[in-house]
Amino acid sequence: MKIVPLSALIFIALVSTARGDVLYQFDVNGADSIQPFSFSFTSPTFAVDGASLTFTPFTVTDGTNSWTMTQGRAVAPCFEFGTSGASLVNCGFVLPDSSSEGGFNLNILGGALPSATGSYFFDGEGTFLSKGDLTFVILNGNVTVSDTSATPEPSSTAFFSIAAAAAAITLRRRCFSLEL
């Protein structure tokens, strides 16, 4: 009965090589002069306190000025984002450091970073500096956290093909030996 252990090995190999990321989709309502904006990023696991966030830069605008967010981090219970020259300050005000910097934090209501899929509401503050004028805004909106579909790694497909061929050879030998 070599086929049962071989089948179990194939199943374990396929399950262990499946990979899915956590998708964070933020929808921020406009406030004061800041226009509504959305952005997203993926993470291999749920974001934890102190984690740096990797994302495609996105732009926040007031219709005249714009700020491109290039850095981010998770600091329980919020997410912080800022331009390259902004200082991210532990869920406090994001401090612009030069004439055209800015950033914001989004404080997850309920007091904790999301650790499960679902929709979470947030409020937060933004500080945006342009040509010497400082704009402070209150932000709110929601973040939808979802698990992307687990997809097998390419190596698991190759492994499955090899294992299926080995199973076929084993069955063929068994059938051939029974005929003799």
Q: pLDDT at position 35, please?
A: 94
Q: pLDDT at position 142, please?
A: 97
Question: Which of these, 137, 70, 131, 59, lies nearest to 100 by C-alpha position?
Answer: 131
Signed CA dihedral, 104, 110, 113, 119: sign only:
negative
Angle at 121 between CA 38 and CA 117, to 5 degrees: 85
Mean pLDDT by 10 residues, the chain (180 residues): 50 51 94 91 94 95 93 94 88 70 92 95 90 86 90 53 58 57
Radius of gyration of the chain (CA): 25
Q: Kindly give the interhelix angle for 3-16 and 154-179, rounded to the nearest 10 degrees.
A: 170
Q: pLDDT at position 86, please?
A: 86
Half-sphere exposure of 60 (CA within 13 A, CB side): 30
Domain boundaries, the chain: 3-17+152-179, 21-148
Task: Look at phi and psi of residue 9 and say left if phi exceeds 0, alpha if psi is from -120 to 50, else beta.
Answer: alpha
Residues in the chain: 180
Q: pTM surpassing 0.75? A: no
Q: pLDDT at position 168, please?
A: 57
Helix (H) or strand (E) run with residue 176 in it: helix 154-179
Coil, strand, or helix at residue 150? Answer: coil
Phi, psi of 165 (to 5 degrees): -65, -40
